[in-house]
Amino acid sequence: MDKIRYAIIGFGGIAENRVAKEGYGCDKTRFNGLEKAVLTGATDMNPARKEAAEALGLKWYDSMEAILADADIDAVYIATNNASHAALACAALEAGKHVIVEKPAATSVADAQKMVDLAAAKDLSLSVDHMMVN
């Protein structure tokens, strides 16, 4: 089975250190990569984050739309501010991408239900990452 190819939307410090370096094993001096998934790209509203992404060998995308248009990306990890989670997740699902979104998935039950319904209708995976719960 080929690896699932992910891109991060919202490449801030936590996404860089906890998700990319640790979670996906991009820091090869300390962590092993994943057997069934690989992080290949990232984007952020702050273009200064490009250098950090490229230092980890990630392709930099100038926008979320560029990630969603890339047929080589199977799934996205959404690490943005809470209020944007639902809209970004729905856009990714509409584009045919599987989604992992940081907690909280949405800021309302209605938005969360919309995400769940859309994922089911598109036959895509939607999950919420509870990173740093402890």
Q: How confident is the model at residue 131 (pLDDT cuts 50, 70, 90)?
A: low
Q: Which of 107, 106, 98, 94 is nearest to 7 (CA)?
A: 98
CATH code of the domain in which 33 resides: 3.40.50.720
Compute φ and ψ for 89, nearest 5 degrees.
Answer: -65, -45
| 133 domain residue, yes or no | no
Q: Is residue 114 part of a domain?
A: no
Residue 102 forms part of a structural domain? yes
Residue 23 CA neighbour count, 13 Å, CB half: 19
Domain holding 41, by residue range, is 4-83+91-108
Residue 130 lies in a domain: no
What residue type is assigned to position 19 of the chain?
V
Among 86, 79, 74, 34, CA closest to 53: 79
Structural domain includes residue 77: yes
In a domain, 33, yes or no: yes
Q: How many structural domains does the chain have?
A: 1
Per-residue pLDDT tens over the stretch 79-99: 999 999 999 999 999 999 999
Query: What would the mean pLDDT of 48-62 be, rounded to a whole number?
Result: 96
Q: What is the per-residue pLDDT across 16-41, written as a single tens digit (0 to 9) for each?
A: 988 888 888 887 878 888 889 999 99
Instruction: Report how far residue 45's alpha carbon sits from residue 64's, in angstroms, rounded to the nearest whole number.
Output: 9
